[in-house]
Amino acid sequence: MDENGQQDDAAELVIWGRSAGPSLGQFIVQFRNLRPNGKYAVLGQVGTTPNGSDLGQTGTIGSAPGGAWCSETFTGTNIWAALVYRAGGHQYVQAAQGYVEGRKQ
């Protein structure tokens, strides 16, 4: 969404998980470029603290429709992720934050 509430579905933020043993899961954050729309000033960050980038940072997510970038692997941690870019004179932001449980339920 941009500052005026306009939605742009040309990119997405995905959290992937997999089993890392009987009681652990490993996770990565992926930024995906789904559709060309003239994105520029791309900034993606993933960290264990708000505005952190200790799990990775990128200034590009590759060409659509297959472009993507992934964070470092993490297990059972606080996560903050944000993807920001400009297109068509608007700035778009997608963010996620919270605790990712490292145990299978």
Q: Which of 96, 104, 57, 62 is nearest to 80 (CA)?
A: 96
Range 72-78 average pLDDT: 84
Residue 27: CATH number of its domain: 2.60.40
For residue 74, being part of any structural domain is answered with yes
Domain hosting 42: range is: 12-99
For residue 69, being part of any structural domain is answered with yes
- Report d(CA 45, CA 82) in Å as an integer: 6
pTM of this structure: 0.84
Q: How crowded is the C-beta side of 36, counted as CA atoms within 13 Å?
A: 1
pLDDT digits (tens, 9 = 90+) for 9-65: 899 999 888 877 776 778 899 999 999 999 999 999 999 888 999 999 999 999 999
How many domains are contained in the chain? 1
Task: Inform me whether the pLDDT recorded for 72 exceeds 90.
Answer: yes
For residue 17, being part of any structural domain is answered with yes
For residue 37, being part of any structural domain is answered with yes
For residue 90, being part of any structural domain is answered with yes
For residue 70, being part of any structural domain is answered with yes
**Looking at residue 102, what is its pLDDT?**
56
Contacts of 97 (CB under 8 A, 6+ apart): 50, 78, 79, 80, 81
- Report d(CA 79, CA 100) in Å as an integer: 7
Task: Please report which confidence band the pLDDT of residue 66 belongs to, taking 50, 70 and 90 as the band edges.
Answer: very high
